[in-house]
A and B are shown apart, each in its own frame.
Chain A
């Protein structure tokens, strides 16, 4: 069966990969050879409407999937092709329906729309017209070149399924109770959960959770989440957000913890690890320990009110700066041993002056690199890297982390200097 995918026309580098990730988890064979970066339309072949539905139901960057009835480079061609295929209308014959237009980079006047709708008379549809709640939605999808009044291509199709796009608005940071400077935009946090193939009942971990943007997104799918951060402050109101989205049961715990000295037992395996590691710009990039150890010699014996100071409830652990590459290497090593086989790590990285085509993506022998997607800003980029835990004994190549050491420095000399 031929279907038409209608995609969002932004963050384009994430759209195909999101669909591929979903197709893999739903075991749907998906061929995206017709996919174009600069178009929201993709024709795909799928066995049935069931696969079509499962492909888009949890997609955040797809607007809808349509079953193609007729198509062509002009309205005449569409009607011509439609007339050759009238048998398909049998199943819609007595259903209530509605006809809509969806024009990309163009518009069609109300009068012209009505003409085309009336032109469909030959289909002999008997059902009642229902504008509010039709059983079948027929849609003319029209692809225009900008500033050209006539479309270059038209499909006539029925809507098979809407997508999870409406969820983005519900999770919008502007409406969220507990946010901070590090909160991650809802749309791409949700997309991250698809790259990581997070599903109901999974146990998911965000080791740099801050205000919880990723755990909250994972809970949307019904996953159960652990979160930790070296900074206690953002963790304090964590529960509020889960309560707001009715996912309180999915929030297991948030821990004040240095990821490089984590307390999780290695027998606890995660179904996904998703995060936005610290870059040292909006937040501190630190681990437990003393920057000047000589100053701390003997301090473990200090008594306050007859109590060793580091055992007191109000003790504040000293922290020292660390390289981002050390944190990232820790993250890959951790994922390699703590993920269940076949499950995923997805994390974000800020990058500057790098070409994704020529950059050596870091590799861990026990993790298969799946994809990198690039979000572009005017002066820098943010990459989302996705890996999958290999089966035991299956070893791949190793490439140490090298692509980020200088990001923080560059950022500071360049942008701070300008201010």
Chain B
């Protein structure tokens, strides 16, 4: 699962969706992998508009990456290197294995072989 995706997923339990604690999920015991991917400047700019920066910082801290600045970079005025760094973090950095926990209901989701599993047990479905 790409870090980009962590910025768009929350706890799948319906009763959590109204709580602000269901996003971002808390990530632990994550094993990361890197995949080289072609850089697409337009896409990074487009997607940065949609990124919730504090949520991204929360996830990168969870996985032990403290490289991102406190403030969301201004993509209109930043130089290409900043965009390339964002490409590296958002798209090329992937969680191969790990756990995601809802800060509202404490439910635990697993990421197995890069695929996150959001299926719910009967008592939460």
Contact = CB atoms under 8 A, between A and B. Distances in A.
B58 to A, nearest CB: 14
A289 B124 CA distance: 8
Contacts of A252: 2, 4-5, 91
B3 to A, nearest CB: 10
Interface in B76-125: 91, 107-108, 110, 112-125
B8 A261 contact: no
Interface residues of A, number: 38
A300 interface: yes
B125 A288 contact: yes
A254 interface: yes
A397 interface: no
B122 A299 contact: yes
A296 B8 CA distance: 31
B10, B43, B114, B115: most-surrounded residue (chain A CB, <10 A) = B115
Nearest to A231: B119
Contacts of B1: 253, 255
Contact of B125 (A248, A263, A265, A289): A289
A264 B9 contact: yes
B37 A255 contact: no
Nearest to A319: B119
Nearest to A295: B122
A315 to B, nearest CB: 7
Interface SS of chain B? loop
B27 interface: no
A24 interface: no
Contacts of A265: 8-10, 23
Contacts of A419: none
A265 B2 CA distance: 15
A146 B121 CA distance: 62
B91 to A, nearest CB: 8
Interface residues on B, range: 35 or more
A264 B8 contact: yes
A201 B43 contact: yes
Contacts of B42: 201
A249 B110 contact: no
A310 B121 CA distance: 6
A288 B113 contact: no
A254 B125 contact: no
Contact of B120 (A224, A255, A317): A317
Given A261-B14, A263-B9, A263-B11, A300 B123 contact: yes
Nearest to B106: A311
A196 B18 CA distance: 31
A255 B116 contact: yes
Contact of A248 (B9, B37, B117): B37
Contacts of B121: 288, 299-300, 310, 315, 317-318
B122 A288 contact: yes
Contact of B119 (A230, A248, A267, A313): A230
A326 B50 CA distance: 31
Interface of A: 201, 203, 224, 226, 230, 232, 235-236, 248-249, 252-258, 261-265, 267-268, 287-290, 293, 296, 299-300, 310-311, 313, 315, 317-318
29 contacts: A201-B43, A224-B43, A235-B115, A236-B115, A248-B35, A248-B38, A253-B1, A255-B1, A255-B9, A255-B116, A256-B115, A257-B12, A257-B116, A257-B118, A258-B118, A261-B14, A261-B119, A261-B125, A262-B12, A263-B10, A263-B116, A263-B118, A264-B8, A265-B9, A265-B10, A268-B8, A289-B125, A296-B122, A317-B125
